[in-house]
Amino acid sequence: MRKVLLMFLAMTTLGLVSCNSNDDENGIVIEGITITDDVDCCTAEEALQVYKFIQTVHILPELSIEVDGLYNVWAYAKSDTFHTGYNEIYFVATKKVTGNYIKNFDIKNLTPLMHMVKMDMYHSAPASEGVESFNDNYLAVRRGWVSFVMPTSQAGDWVLSYEVEVLGSTAQVEPAAITVDALPEGQAWVKSFKIDGKPYYLSVVNPIDFQTGVNTIQAYVSVQGENRELPYGAADETFTIEIDPRMPDMGNHTSPDNVALTKQTSGVYQGTVNLTMTGLWRIHLTVRDSQGNVVAGGDDLDNGYSSLYWDVTI
Amino acid sequence: MIIETVLLSIILLPDTTTTESQQLDEVVVVSRELGAQRSVKGQVASIDEHLRELKSVNLVRRGSYAWEPVINNMQTERVSTSIDGMKIFYACTDKMDPVTSYVESSNLQSILLNSGLNGNPQATGNIGGSLDLKLRRAGFGSDRFRMGGDLGYESNGQQRVFGADAAVSTQGFYTNGGVSYRRADNYKEGGGREIQFSQFQKVNAYDNFGFRLAQHGSIEGTFIFDRATDVGYPALNMDVAKAEAFITSLAYRREWEDRALQSWETKVYYNHITHVMDDTHRPDVQIHMDMPGESWTAGLYSLLRAAWGRHFLTANYDLYDNRLFADMTMYPGGAAPMYMVTWPDVGTLNTGVALSDRISLSDARSLHLSGKWSWQHQRLNNQEGYNALSVFFPGMKRQYQQVTGRISASYQVSLAHSRYSVGAGWGSRAPTVTEAYGYYLNNTFDQYDYIGNPRLKNESAVELNGSYEWRTDGYALNLDASGFFFSDYIIGRFEPRLSAMTVAAEGVKVYANIDHATIANFSLTSAWDLFDWLKWSVRTGYSIGRDEEGEALPLIAPWVYGTVAEVQVGRFRGKAEWQGNARQHHYGSKYGESRSAGWAICNLQGSYSWSHVTLRAGVENLLDKRYTTYADWCDIPQKGRNIYINLSFEY
């Protein structure tokens, strides 16, 4: 609907403002954005892509900021609230004058922090720290992620902060209170294990997008550093994460041809998970180090499957 | 060449179909008409009981309703079933609804069976044979008004049958229609134990009509509504809440006299089946499931008949478009429902041309040639179902095309006392939707989940057949034999790599082509006219089925035998029958079949006719024997002693 509206808008305004010098020769007009020759900013086509993407996500006002009175940085997520496990946060920077999207900017030190009320202690969570371009289509959208290890509750609250650098200007988003919801029954997207006493976290990426059929499965392996108040960064080791998806409600039915997750150059672990139907899938995990030794999971519980698993209900 | 017909109706009309049927295989009369090959229960009999009269037919039973016809020991996959030339496809992934279950005896004039590859013109994939259910039409210029009714009762299962029909006919218009209702409770096996979940209920309404447009042209139409509810399937884990069909057609027919071109009929048709399984009445259901299925078919055919010199020719063009969709939702207590598409909305567009020629070489010798070529395009319309199958067949396509064909020839010599024929044919069939795209379909016969295989090759077979008949005053001997030599025979193959879905299933089988297989059938009938009023016949048959390793195929009839004494005195007809199967020597243990024991039962039947009324009564399984045939799914026992009485009247 929005797309249709946009088209309509584009077509009608083409007729109305065809004398406007700002008007792109393709006739693309985006509400609230003036396209100029500014090299820092998107072309009309690029801006339209970004604009369309933004329509699919929810803005996070508490995490958006104005920089030096010149720029705005906006944060977005797939839903209004966060949830335990992997959450993606998208960032877009605009020039206040034109409203157009800035191609080059950076986000740093994306830091989740939980205050454990009873013990008056703080700890962070696995996070991407920095950001990367979302993909080739949305160069002006930066993506970061946080994997919350527990929900907001009476026991503790989460805050999130980050630093931003736009065209030479910098700003700090002060720790903003956010709400992290517990996942519903049948979903468990972040799990931990220990090697030599050091806690590691396995965060599966967007399992909500899984569908019946062949799925690419991605995950991050993060490790808690000396200072647990700093975000848990990517583990340096190279692991292999073997997966065994099972349906506990269906006599531990499984699917064939699943491919273990291996580390990609970007740092993400990637494999293939095949899901033969909807319902609760318990993805049992066996983590091996680069020598092939099992470092986590891979044990046989009473049911014969690893005690380390993600739960994904599709 | 074996061609059989079962006649079903009283009102047997000077319709073109009946004259032609003599040249075809077997016919069973479904109507109230006396004589000919027919069920002793008359029109009160179910379609399944009529089908049982055909000697090439066996029936796979999953309960007391909707039996699956098996022709020459081949099931639905290798059999074509049509209703007056209309294609119709069942909607249940578990084969609970063979299409013969969507009509009633009252709808039909006869059932025509063409054995083997010499199918009726609209048949495709008919390696084993083809059934055409001929609708009952009052026709133009028969009795101005007729009406009839049927009442039936069976003691075992308290089956009640009610039927009424009426016909109006003039030179320019006719219509005949009726309604019927059947209801049965659980039946009892021999010895008296009740078979739970064997009840059923069915209503049916139909109307046929015709308008004469000109001297030689007419329009004919059909409407059938059939709805079965509360149908139990004791051999399966589920019952059926509703199986409903809507069948309709409109045809234009033109006939000529004294011309080479005899008739030309063009028909358009549409049918829709809705099938809803139901496990809510079963105890001990581990996971409640909803399993609905739907089938839509629209099509047309155009059939030309001509007689030219020694040739009797038919040419037929047909086209149909079928859509099959089925899915399954499982509800584990409290947890998220599990959903899968079991037939991924497969659209099949099939079109073909069939030709046949019957050539009278001399008074005694004739040659019959027939052939059909078909092209088929299939498309998987459901994305989720396609994605799911892609797990098992990476890179599978969204659309497939197949070309199939059949050709057969039969040579017949008729002498004063004997007649013999020899025939040969070749034919192929495309995999069925279940075989190609079925998804985790649990088969309770061998306790495996089945997955279709979109990469299957067409199956083909060479058929050889022969028959010999010797007839003198008072004696007749018939010998029939047919052999089918398959290449790329399609059957489920155990895939140890895959994990079963159904709790308690043995594993997963994926349909595969095996290099070759053989099915052969022999039968012998000997009949004596002992007196004017007494006939006696004996019949025996034997079949074998072998896969490429020489192992027995499943669901192949063992040695069968039977003897019948028929009495006719005035308006009384009586029949005493003894029939049985030997112990199954060769059974498909490799395919999960268990050996069935031998059995024999005795039936007694009688009928008496007044001018407008016929009374029929009889006892089936007189000795109340507990028995199970090889074709009883999961060895569910047959009915014990059953006393029936029915009354048919026509006015």
For the ranges A83-87, B141-145, B169-173, B552-556, which has the lowest average pLDDT? B141-145
All residues of chain A having their beta carbon less than 8 Å from the beta carbon of residue B498 are: 256
From the CA of A134, how many Å to the nearest CA of chain B? 26
User: Could you tell me which chain A residue has the CA closest to the CA of B384?
Assistant: A212
Is the pLDDT at B171 greater than 80? The verdict is: yes
Q: Which of B499, B506, B510 to mutate to test the interface with A (most CBs of A within 10 A)?
A: B499
Residues A26 and A151 in one domain: yes
Which structure tokens are listed for B359? 């050539």
Better-predicted residue by pLDDT, B611 or A281: A281
First and final CA of chain B: distance in angstroms? 39
**Per-residue DSSP letters for B242-265?**
EEEEEEEEEEEEEE-SSSSEEEEE
A117 touches chain B (CB under 8 A): no
CA distance readout (Å), B534 to A52, A95, B367, B567: 88, 106, 36, 5
3-state secondary structure of A280: strand
pLDDT at residue B11, as a whole number: 38
CA B393 – CA B453 distance, rounded (Å)? 8
Residue B132 pLDDT more than 70?
yes
Helices (H) and strands (E) in chain A, counts: 2, 23
Distance from chain centroid for Cα B352: 22
Q: Which residues of A touch B497 (CB under 8 A)?
A: 256
**What's the pLDDT score for residue B5?**
65
Both tokens assigned to B608: 């008496």
A216 interface with B at CB cutoff 8 Å = no
Q: How confident is the model at residue A81 (pLDDT cuts 50, 70, 90)?
A: confident
Would the CB atoms of A251 and B503 count as touching at under 8 Å? yes
A9 and A146 housed in the same domain: yes
pLDDT in tens, A242-252: 999 999 999 89
Query: A255, A245 in Cβ contact below 8 A?
Result: yes
What ipTM does the predicted assembly reach?
A: 0.89
- Domain encompassing residue A244: 190-313
Q: What is the pLDDT of residues B45-79, one digit of tens each?
A: 999 999 998 888 999 999 999 999 999 999 999 99
Q: How many domains does chain A have?
A: 2
Rounded distance between C-alpha atoms, residue B406 and residue B425, angstroms:
7
Residue A40: pLDDT band with limits 50, 70, 90 = confident
- β-pairing, B26-32 vs B3-9, is parallel
Single residue among A148, A181, A214 that ends a domain in this structure: A181
Taking an 8 Å cut-off on Cβ atoms, the answer to whether B330 and A279 are in contact is yes
- How large a percentage of chain B has pLDDT more than 90? 87
Determine the pLDDT at residue B7. 60
The answer to whether residue B330 neighbours chain A at the CB level (below 8 Å) is yes
Residues 21-60 of A with CB under 8 A from B: none
Of A185, A249, A277, the CB nearest to B388: A277
Residue of B nearest to A246 (CA): B499
Does the distance separating the beta carbons of B394 and A214 come in below 8 Å? Answer: yes
- Are residue A279 and residue A134 in the same domain, yes or no? no
A134 and A237 fall within a common domain: no
Considering Cα of A99, then A104, then A109, then A112, what sign does the dihedral take?
A: positive
Task: Report phi then psi at A284, rounded to 5.
Answer: -75, 140
3-state helix, strand, coil in chain B (%, to 5): 5, 60, 35
Task: Test A277 with B392 for CB contact under 8 angstroms.
Answer: no
Please judge whether B384 and A256 are an interchain contact, meaning their C-beta atoms are less than 8 angstroms apart.
Answer: no
As beta bridge partners, residue B643 has B619
At residue B22, the pLDDT reads: 33
Backbone angles phi, psi at B392, to 5 degrees: -90, -25
Residues 488-547 of B with CB under 8 A from A: 497-501, 503-504
Average pLDDT, chain A: 88
pLDDT tens-digit readout, A149-208: 999 999 899 999 999 999 999 999 999 999 999 999 999 999 999 999 999 999 999 999
The predicted model gives B328-350 an average pLDDT of: 95
Q: How far is A213 from chain B (nearest CA, A)?
A: 4
Please check whether residues A168 and A248 belong to one and the same domain.
no
Residue in A186, A254, A277 nearest the CB of B340 = A277
The per-residue pLDDT for B28 is 72
Note whether B387 contacts A276, CB cutoff 8 Å: no
Claim to verify: residue A169 and residue A44 sit in the same structural domain:
yes
Per-residue pLDDT band at B6 (split at 50, 70, 90) = low
> What's the pLDDT score for residue A7?
46
One-character DSSP codes across A9-69:
HHHHHHHHSTT-TTS-TT---BTTB---S-TTB--HHHHHHHHHHHTTSEE-GGG-EEETT
Q: Is the dihedral of CA B43, B45, B48, B53 positive or negative?
A: negative
Q: Using an 8 Å CB-CB cutoff, list chain B residues near A255.
A: 391, 499
Shortest CB distance from A313 goes to which of B336, B440, B497? Answer: B336
Residues B145-164 have a mean pLDDT of 96
Contacting residues of B for A247, CB less than 8 Å apart: 338
A167 and A218 housed in the same domain: no
Model confidence at A39, pLDDT cuts 50, 70, 90, reads confident
User: Average pLDDT in the B475-485 region?
Assistant: 96
A162, A181, A200: which is the final residue of a domain?
A181
Across A5-9, A205-209, B255-259, B578-582, least confident range: A5-9
Q: Are residues A51 and A92 in the same domain?
A: yes
Q: Which of B1-5, B102-106, B206-210 has the lowest mean pLDDT?
A: B1-5
Is A256 in Cβ contact with B504 (below 8 Å)?
Answer: no
Same domain membership, residue A98 and residue A136: yes
For residues B61 and B68, give the distance between their C-alpha atoms in angstroms, rounded to a whole number: 7
| pLDDT of B276 above 90 | yes
Give the model's pLDDT for residue B183.
Answer: 97
CB–CB of B143/B163 below 8 Å? no
Confidence of residue A80 (pLDDT cuts 50, 70, 90): confident
A250 interface with B at CB cutoff 8 Å: yes
pLDDT above 60 for B131: yes
Task: Specify whether the CB–CB gap between A309 and A282 falls below 8 A.
Answer: yes
Per CATH, the homologous superfamily of domain B11-650 is: TonB-dependent receptor, beta-barrel domain (2.40.170.20)
Structure tokens at B433: 């939707």
A9: pLDDT strictly greater than 60: no
Q: Let me know: does B316 contact B353? Beta carbons within 8 Å.
A: yes
Contact status, residue A279 vs residue B335, Cβ threshold 8 Å:
yes
pLDDT of residue B36: 54
| CA pair distance A203, A146, nearest whole angstrom | 9
Residues of chain A with Cβ-Cβ distance to B388 below 8 Å are: 212-213, 276-277
Q: Output the pLDDT for position A14.
A: 42
Under an 8 A CB cutoff, do B501 and A313 touch? no
User: Which pLDDT score, from 0 to 100, does residue B489 have?
Assistant: 98
Residues A177 and A103 in one domain: yes
Chain A residue with minimal CA distance to B386?
A: A213
| Through-space distance between the first and last CA atoms of chain A, rounded to whole angstroms | 26
Are A164 and A227 found together in one domain? no
- Tell me the DSSP string of A110-135: EEEEEEETTTTEEE--BB-SS-EE--
Residues B241-270 pLDDT 10s:
999 999 999 999 999 987 889 999 999 999
Q: Measure Cα distances from B235 to A182, B47, B443, B635 in Å.
A: 46, 20, 11, 8
Q: What CATH number did the domain enclosing A225 receive?
A: 2.60.40
pLDDT tens string A215-262? 999 999 999 999 999 999 999 999 999 999 999 999 899 999 999 999
Residue at token pair 């848990």: A232
Q: Does A253 touch chain B (CB under 8 A)?
A: yes
Count of CB contacts below 8 A, A vs B? 81
Q: Read off the pLDDT of residues B195-253 as tens digits, 9 standing for 90 and up.
A: 999 999 999 999 999 999 988 899 999 999 999 999 999 999 999 999 999 999 999 99
Of B440, B497, B503, the CB nearest to A256: B497
- Which of the residues A185, A211, A217, A253 would you substitute to probe the B interface, choosing the one with the greatest number of B C-beta atoms within 10 Å? A253
pLDDT of res. A6: 45
What's the average model confidence in pLDDT over B340-345?
A: 97
Query: Residue B32 above 70 pLDDT?
Result: no
Please give the residue of chain A at the shortest CA–CA distance from B498.
A256
Q: Do B287 and A250 touch (CB under 8 A)?
A: yes
pLDDT computed for residue B504 by the predictor: 83
Q: Any chain A CB within 8 A of the CB of B338?
A: yes
By Cβ distance, the residue of B335, B387, B499 closest to A212 is B387
Selected for mutation to probe chain B from A210, A255, A275, A278 (highest B CB count within 10 Å) is A278
So what's the pLDDT on residue B31? 62
pLDDT reading at B356 higher than 80: yes
